A and B are shown apart, each in its own frame.
Chain A
Amino acid sequence: MNAWQPDSAQTVKVLLFASLREQAGWSDRRIPLNAVAVSSAREIWDRLELGDLPQVVLVAINQEIVSADHPVHAGDELAFLPPFTGG
């Protein structure tokens, strides 16, 4: 059994990019999930203590853009994405 499995079985990996990363002071962190209730991406955000989730921030779960109210499951990769400024 890999060392990461017990951890990822009970947590979600949260990624922050660009200005959100700078605001939080970290880029990735494992957040424990509530054992009895399904959490949404927005509920996970609220636990990061970064203020209200800005409307312009997109949410990706397992590298798919989804709504902020999408459920999050143990082992998921949850990313919060500020407005894109490429090109």
Chain B
Amino acid sequence: MGSQPADLEIQILDQPTSGGLQLDTWLRSRAASDAATAVFMGRVRELAMDGQTLDALELDHYPGLCERRIETFTRRLLEQHGACSALVLHRVGRLLPGELIVLVAVSADRRGPAQRCCAALLEALKHDAPFWKREWSHGVGTWLSENTPLGS
């Protein structure tokens, strides 16, 4: 699962990971001119959207279309924000509370482009890539109909 064009790396993972090894490997491959790196890591919450204790989070995706859409909008956002490169990790399958769901890292020559592109890339992952979350609480699974808005 994954593709590795020159300036971006996308990995869809079906096993738990801290993201640390992938991030370290990616950082070591960056050019010295990529002086600024912004990183976002999202993990599974302990509570479901309705406040119940979350047993697990299930993540479904559409293989093929998912990777291609991520690559397309990542390239567009890198150019739009003047950033250089990006690493995107996204889990699928059954996740337990505390496990990493998503890791986004963006490098640029300055912090502004890196931070702005990282934030925009995360929002694109939430709204423009074919992933779907189902929350499991007390043996009942509920597909989420939307993500929480930014700022909530």
Binding site for B on A (CB under 8 A): 15, 17-19, 22, 60, 63-65, 79, 81-87
Contact = CB atoms under 8 A, between A and B. Distances in A.
A29 B132 CA distance: 20
Contacts of B123: 87
A17 B122 contact: no
Interface residues of B, number: 28
Interface of B: 42, 59-62, 64-65, 68, 90, 101-102, 122-123, 125-134, 143-147
B60 A87 contact: no
B129 A86 contact: yes
Contacts of B133: 85-86
Nearest to B101: A87
Given A60-B62, A79-B62, A86-B90, A19 B143 contact: yes
Given A82-B145, A87-B131, 13 more contacts: A18-B134, A19-B145, A60-B65, A65-B65, A81-B62, A82-B132, A83-B145, A85-B133, A85-B144, A86-B59, A86-B129, A87-B90, A87-B147
